[in-house]
Amino acid sequence: MSRTPKVYARRRVSILAALSGLIASVALFNSPSASAALPTPVSAATARTYLASLTVATEDRTGYDRDLFPHWITQSGTCNTREVVLKRDGTNVVQDSACAATSGSWYSVYDGATWTAASDLDIDHLVPLAEAWDSGADGWTTARRQAFANDLTRPQLIAVTDNVNQAKGDQDPATWMPSRTAYRCTYVRAWVQVKYYYGLSVDSAEKSALTSYLASC
């Protein structure tokens, strides 16, 4: 007679354990996601290999116009590229029905600042549009320039402090790098990966700077 309660007890424990696991899983999926960042760039070793294969050429900005790179296109529903990156790179980001971020927290990896208003963030084209034009995008179709300007797959777009992005402008790593030295290796790995993927050239000063930074990664 004593065996039946023990079996029942074991089954009850098993059921409770299963329910606890289910509850934990639901909590995991519903909990706020951690702060994200741009897609992880290739390793330093791969970046060095990519860099060695890039064409070295003098830059030519003749004919550049930012409008030649259609950007912040609709990605899904009412969300454009900027809004997708703000959601991806922030923590506890809340968006309204128009997909605009109404609250959240963003850590700018370039300078180490934290912001709670989306208006304080720019979405940086890691390889600037003008830099891309100078190094080969002047020969692309509009469709390819649009793909470059809205690329969520490669490490090309990232939410950062607006005035830091504006200070960077169209500079390459020979003349501008993030003030946070801890991020510089990630930055140059991403830079080389994007240039390699899109078949863009580098100028001699740019290649020298990238070589130097990658040697320390």
**How many Å apart are CA 123 and CA 120, to the nearest integer?**
10
Using one digit for the tens of pLDDT, what is the confidence trace for 76-116? 999 999 999 999 999 999 999 999 999 999 999 999 999 99
| Residues 97-135: b if buried by 16+ CB within 10 A, e if exposed | eebebeebebbbbbbebebeebebbbbbbbbbbbbbbbb
CA nearest neighbour of 46 among 177, 148, 191: 191
Using one digit for the tens of pLDDT, what is the confidence trace for 6-42? 333 333 433 333 333 333 333 333 333 334 578 999 9
Using one digit for the tens of pLDDT, what is the confidence trace for 158-192? 999 999 999 999 999 999 999 999 999 999 999 99
